[in-house]
Amino acid sequence: MILASACLCGIRCRYDGGAKPAARFTEMLGRGECLPFCPEQLGMLTTPREPAEISGGDGFDVLDGEASVLLRDRPGDVTGAFLLGARRSLQIAALYRPGTIYLKERSPSCALREGPGAPGVTAAALMRAGWRLEAADGG
């Protein structure tokens, strides 16, 4: 069993209401080999929702209280929702114990290497907990 960002599995959970499906993950989901999760939905954010970005650092800095997650296009702080999503993602990982967790790049939650604020908040939390992570991108 693996865990994968839900948008990679074709689930419409991105901020814009869309998905970024990758055939590999949609096929694994269909075979019951993949558990999709969306840290932002786990943090109680709606879909669709306003885009957000990490301000003042990266995901590790958010975890340490040294940076924030702010709405991109208007004033608003959603740091608490991103931290809740990261905590719940850690709980899911502890429950299912996946060999690998695949995360969507260019996300304030899931990014491992790409984009401002990388790693994202959930990626940083999973890294600190010692999980094996792989970056993935969908279409």
Our count of domains for the chain comes to 1
Token couple for 62: 């958010």
- pLDDT score of 1: 87
Q: How many CA atoms lie within 13 A of 109 on its CB side?
A: 31
CB atoms within 10 A of CB 64: 10
Structural domain range at position 91: 2-136
pTM of the full predicted structure?
A: 0.95
- pLDDT score of 107: 94
Q: Tens of pLDDT along the chain (139 residues)?
A: 899 999 999 999 999 999 999 999 999 999 999 999 999 999 999 999 999 999 999 999 999 999 999 999 999 999 999 999 999 999 999 999 999 999 999 999 999 988 888 999 999 999 999 999 999 988 7
Q: At what angle do helices 121-128 and 79-96 cross, to 10 degrees?
A: 40
- pLDDT score of 114: 82
What's at 12, amino acid-wise? R
- pLDDT score of 116: 81
